[in-house]
Amino acid sequence: MKKYILALDQGTTSSRAILFDREGQLCGCAAQEFPQHFPHPGWVEHDPLDIWNSQLAVARQVLREQHIDPHQILAIGIANQRETTVVWDRKTGVPVAPAIVWQDRRTAELCDALRADGKAKKITDISGLELDAYFSATKLKWLLDHVPGARQKAERGELAFGTVDSWLVYKLSGQHVTDVSNAARTMLFNIHLMRWDYDLLHLFGIPEAVLPQVVSSSEEVGHTHPGLFGAAIPVAGIAGDQQAATFGQACHRPGMVKNTYGTGCFMLMHLGRQPVASHNRLLTTVGWRIDGETDYLLEGSVFMGGATVQWLRDGLGIIQSSAEVEALAASVPDSDGVFMVPAFVGLGAPHWDAYARGALFGLSRGSTRAHIARAALEAIAYQSAELMTAMQKDAAIPLTEVRADGGAARNDLLMQFQADLLGVPVVRPRVTETTALGAAYLAGLAVGFWDTQEEIAAQWTCQRRFDPAMGSDQRAARMARWSQAIDRSRNWQS
């Protein structure tokens, strides 16, 4: 029987399950959206059981639709939305509260207080992260402080904390673990010593008893309960979605860059085996750990990427499906001076402004929904161009190309505009499901499905290359105008 790796790609708005064969070919896919909850302005929540049930459903669906016997699955790899925080009861396995999603801004004031107390530099020096509500530490503190009895139960070892990878592994196998790439996104992990940091735990008031065991990104950590799929399948690969996408894009050498156009946009550059501190408010983070060796990445995060298009659909109602946005935007030659700043949940790197809010500038009586759609797509590219500028200053490595993936990478108009703003080619791979592919590769390496990273890199192929066509003067003028729009949207929510 032919063998496969099953990748579980648990994202912010949907859960996906994808089968890959030894050639890295996609052999089956199932996806399911799940509800988003916005109980207060700036709050974003998920029901952890929605996450689990949707992920289990699509995993079973893809096996059923492709007529795959569970014994054909050599291993499961997991890629997950990062920083989203889940706390559950160890005895019952029941979540004690909704998951607080990475986009959630409810702890911004706590971050402000820590910054005013002079703690920001220490946090960055240890964790590689900016002090921001984006990460898990303040979310976990909030849950322990606001869920009745939670802190006392946590101190007694009765509760378990995890990011979404931990939650899925627990539901699949009963193990309470997280890999280094996800641990590095909690703001509680020392990326230099590769362990939970006692100073940070004390600073945020987190009991050590609540934490998962930290494991490598590519190793067998448990087996699925036989009743889930009809076989005990090894769970052998775990990585945060952006690290998984970087690995799936075969960005295994220093200086290689990928940008994922998903719910948010995440640009990552491979740094090698030593971390590089950012001086431009980017993040230094763990990429993956394989066979005892840790690879580090430099990352810039944009909170609203494809989610901006979802807002056009669900908020404004100017498109019926996200797929319509490219044709609508292409129906006009440019945005006619309209700029959108999609700071609906604040601004990420390099601004880190939790109080910025979304705005439209340059509207006139002649502005149409097509101009707004075009401005929305261009905003995704402008934000990513800012990341690249900061990244090149930090790493001092000349950029030769950017490998693009994620759902919005299928949008040719966006990819061409991105290449124009960056001034270097944007390359779209044949397999754009690189997040799932990276999780599959990590799991497959652990069980011998693939032997080396070089073998994996040889499978990467280009589907289309977008070369820049915009002059440097025009590029500079556009970026200057974008900076004006950013400045006017900042510090709006007091």
Burial class of residue 219 in the structure, from the number of CB atoms within 10 Å of its CB (0-12 exposed, 13-18 middle, 19+ buried):
buried
Annotation: binding site for ATP: 12-14, 263, 306, 310, 407
C-alpha closest to that of 83 among 180, 163, 168: 163
Give the tokens for residue 337: 């001076």
Helices 412-422 and 472-489, interaxial angle, to 10°? 100
Residue 193, amino acid: L
Backbone angles phi, psi at 338, to 5 degrees: -85, 130
Residues in binding site for sn-glycerol 3-phosphate: 12, 82-83, 134, 241
Count of C-beta atoms within a 10 Å radius of residue 8: 29
Write out the two tokens for 343: 């700071």
| Binding-site sequence positions for glycerol | 82-83, 134, 241-242
Cα gap 274→295, rounded to integer Å:
7
Q: What residue numbers does the annotated binding site for ADP cover? A: 12, 16, 263, 306, 407, 411
Put residue 358 in one of left, alpha, beta given phi > 0 → left and psi -120 to 50 → alpha.
beta
Peptide bond between residue 212 and the one before it cis (omega within 30 degrees of 0): no
Strands 462-466 and 283-290: unpaired
Half-sphere exposure of 349 (CA within 13 A, CB side): 28
Q: Where are the beta strands (DSSP E) in 37-166?
A: 45-46, 73-80, 86-89, 99-100, 159-162
Q: Which two tokens stand for residue 287?
A: 């990429």
Extract the tokens encoding 377. Answer: 């797509």
- Binding residues, by number, are 12-14, 16, 82-83, 134, 241-242, 263, 306, 310, 407, 411
* Integer Cα distance of 293 and 255 in angstroms: 18
Long-range contacts of 110-117 (CB under 8 A, 24+ apart): 110/138, 110/141, 110/142, 111/138, 111/354, 114/203
> How far is 30 from 18, CA to CA, in rounded Å?
7
Gap between the Cα atoms of 402 and 382, Å rounded: 15
* CA–CA dist 286, 309 (Å, integer): 30
Query: Which run of H or E residues covers position 14?
Result: strand 14-20
